[in-house]
Amino acid sequence: MTPESLNYKPSSIERLTECTLPLRIRYFSPISSENLDQASKISSSDSRTFLTTEKESVFKMIDYRGVIDGKDHVAVIKDVRDGKNVPIRIHSSCLTAETFHTSICDCEDQLNVALSIVDERKFGGIIWLNQEGMSNGLAAKFAQIDYESRTGKYDPVTYHGELFIDRREYSVAAEILKDLGISSIQLITNNPSKISEMQRLGIEVVSRIPIITDAQNQQAISYLEERRRKGYLG
């Protein structure tokens, strides 16, 4: 399936360049009788209940630029086949987790789990959206993190007159999916609101694939529970 076969012309994105790139994929496997021998090699001080393994796999990387916001967004694709029932993760950038590996959120783990799902099925992909800090930007995100670390509260703070709330927007993701010839998806998410939003944008969501991560850090657990309570899910 191609954009032409859908009579589709993107209006708010521009496809720029693409390449193939080997990625290191981390698999999180619950410790069981099958992998107990490998699990026994984990340090006794390691409290994780998941066994982590790593492999390398090649993905196609496609760079898109938003016509309105001027930001670059990336499609990380294994295969889309006929464009139907494609496993897809719509993932917003998280510098603090994905680059600096913070333990207060599970964004990096969610990305890795989604990549492992796609890699295992040899089908699907990740739409990586450049909208840091729930699209409030890094400065506002750091102000929010500072407030939370000082007070232990998770109330949105005001930064330069703007309230730190969820401003993530998914129309670019829908445009990218249509440009790739994808008409229906299995959405890899823990956020039910993403399902209704993608459907509103013209993408059929046939099912949801939940993301199970290895969040053991107590601060991370508290943070994630609060985000879940307020609907700020990935």
Do 221 and 124 meet the contact criterion of CB atoms below 8 Å apart?
Answer: no
Q: Is-catalytic flag, 228?
A: no
Q: 3-state DSSP call for residue 193?
A: helix
- Which among 48, 69, 121, 166 is annotated as catalytic? 166
Distances (CA, A) of 202 to 84, 170, 181: 14, 11, 13
**3 state SS for 145-187:** HHHHHHHCCCCCCEECCEECCCCCCCHHHHHHHHHCCCCEEEE
Q: What is the CA angle 166-169-170, rounded to 5?
A: 135
DSSP state of 49: S
CA distance 219 to 234: 18
Q: Is-catalytic flag, 166?
A: yes
CA distance 115 to 58: 11
- Which among 109, 119, 168, 214 is annotated as catalytic? 168
CA distance 148 to 230: 15
- Residue 112 identity: N
Give the tokens for residue 218. 């107590």
With 0-12 / 13-18 / 19 or more C-beta atoms within 10 angstroms meaning exposed / middle / buried, residue 8 is middle
Instruction: Just list the catalytic residues.
Output: 166, 168
